[in-house]
């Protein structure tokens, strides 16, 4: 999506090139009005909970209200497209997850957007592992035992997901690729109905975010076999990582981050990035975030850009292996 610079920006650049000494403060007063953060999912979900944790501190740092707007649809794509087409002035931002940022461009035909062409990364704000879980009827206690059980029953076990093409679909596909097991995908419309059928015994296996997994595990409704992060989860300290079980190539951590429309001025990106850094360094916010099952994982705009440059082809490969496509 090509953007045309504003006349004021062009004038500033021209005058500066002529050496007229004009101090052109197009961005000096930023922000001087409320900032809107768009979420591509309904209110009440994990992204909503996450940004609500940050807004009060952000408002104090930026000196302007930070509003949350919901543009739900197509796995976050509706919200992403809305922000991609917004003015590149720093007042409309996107809070997105792994699916929106790096899975959707690979799973939709044609791609709805090209991440690092249509957006400017501002900051990564959190990362979140997944738990690999089974219902209580499955006669296993460890991931190794589950893999052996699945190999002994090829095609007879089902795994549920929150929907085709999401991270809860693709992580089990990664496990299948690494171990050679044959388990059947059953997509649901969201994680809640998937959990319901898991606990009812209609599906045997799932990969889901730690907060939900920890909640159901503490109630004794499911068994957690492993977590997908490099180190153990604070919320589930007794559960081993997938790597500990001997599967060296399966480390997956979902992430949240802030994106701005492409061509947002670098001075504004830097100011926003610094505001998120200060917010995420607040000990009270870190404690509450960890309690919610997410790890504070700030990255600056440059760091986040490099991170996404690596993550994008990685997830495109996983999508291709899984044969997942949406039109």
- The per-residue pLDDT for range 244-289, each reduced to its tens digit, is 999 988 889 899 999 999 999 999 999 999 999 999 999 999 999 8
pLDDT of residue 324: 81
Q: Percentage of the chain with pLDDT > 70?
A: 91
Q: How far apart are CA 115 and CA 314, in angstroms?
A: 14
Query: Averaged over 170-183, what is the pLDDT?
Result: 94
pLDDT of residue 327: 64
Kindly indicate whether the domain formed by 25-128+254-322 is annotated with CATH number 3.40.50.150: no
CATH 3.40.190.150 residue ranges for the chain: 25-128+254-322
Give the E-state strand segments of the chain in sequence order: 35-39, 66-70, 92-97, 119-135, 157-161, 183-187, 205-209, 222-227, 253-261, 295-299
CATH 3.40.190.10 residue ranges for the chain: 129-245
177-199 pLDDT, tens digit per residue, is: 999 999 999 998 888 899 999 99
Beta-bridge mates of residue 66: 35
DSSP three-state, residue 134: strand
Instruction: Tell me which of 3.50.30.60, 3.20.20.80, 3.40.190.10, 3.40.50.920 is the CATH number of domain 129-245.
Output: 3.40.190.10
pLDDT of residue 14: 57
Q: Percentage of the chain with pLDDT > 90?
A: 68
| Res. 326: pLDDT tops 80 | no
pLDDT-based confidence at residue 26 (cuts at 50, 70, 90) = very low
pLDDT of residue 63: 97
pLDDT of residue 322: 83
Regarding predicted confidence, which is higher, 293 or 85?
85
pLDDT of residue 20: 44
DSSP three-state, residue 32: coil
How far are the Cα atoms of 168, 228, 243 from residue 175, in angstroms, in the given order?
Answer: 11, 10, 12
Q: How far apart are CA 277 and CA 327, in angstroms?
A: 37
For residue 168, the Cα-to-chain-centroid distance in whole angstroms is 12
pLDDT of residue 12: 55
81-107 pLDDT, tens digit per residue, is: 999 999 999 999 999 999 999 999 999
pLDDT-based confidence at residue 311 (cuts at 50, 70, 90) = very high
| Res. 54: pLDDT tops 90 | yes
Beta-bridge mates of residue 207: 132
């Amino acid at each position: 999506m090509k953007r045309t610079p504003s006349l004021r920006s062009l004038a500033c650049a021209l005058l500066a090139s002529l050496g007229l000494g004009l101090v052109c403060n197009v961005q000096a007063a930023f922000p001087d009005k409320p900032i809107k953060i768009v979420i591509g999912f309904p209110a009440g979900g994990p992204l909503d909970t996450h940004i609500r944790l940050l807004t009060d501190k952000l408002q104090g740092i930026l000196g302007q209200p930070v509003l949350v707007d919901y543009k739900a649809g197509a796995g976050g794509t509706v919200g992403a497209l809305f922000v991609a087409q917004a003015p590149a002035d720093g007042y409309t931002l996107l809070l997105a997850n792994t699916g929106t940022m790096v899975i959707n461009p690979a799973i939709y035909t044609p791609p709805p957007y090209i991440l690092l062409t249509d957006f400017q990364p501002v900051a990564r704000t959190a990362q979140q592992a997944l738990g690999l879980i089974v219902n209580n009827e499955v006669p296993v206690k460890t991931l190794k035992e589950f893999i052996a059980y699945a190999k002994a029953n090829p095609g007879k076990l089902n795994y549920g997901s929150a929907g085709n093409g999401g991270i809860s679909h693709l992580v089990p596909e990664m496990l299948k690729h690494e171990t050679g097991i044959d388990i059947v995908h059953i997509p649901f419309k969201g994680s809640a109905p998937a959990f319901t059928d898991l606990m009812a015994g209609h599906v045997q296996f799932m990969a889901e975010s730690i907060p939900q997994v920890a909640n159901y595990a503490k109630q004794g409704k499911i068994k957690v076999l492993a977590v997908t992060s490099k180190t153990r989860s604070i919320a589930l300290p007794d559960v081993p990582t997938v790597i500990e079980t001997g599967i060296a190539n399966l480390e997956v951590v979902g992430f949240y981050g802030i994106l701005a429309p492409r061509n947002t001025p670098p001075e504004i990106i830097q100011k926003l990035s610094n505001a998120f850094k200060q917010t995420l360094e607040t000990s009270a916010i870190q404690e509450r975030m960890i309690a919610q099952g997410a790890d504070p994982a700030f990255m600056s705009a440059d760091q986040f850009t490099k991170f996404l440059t690596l993550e994008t082809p990685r997830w495109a490969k996983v999508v291709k292996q899984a044969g997942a496509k949406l039109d």
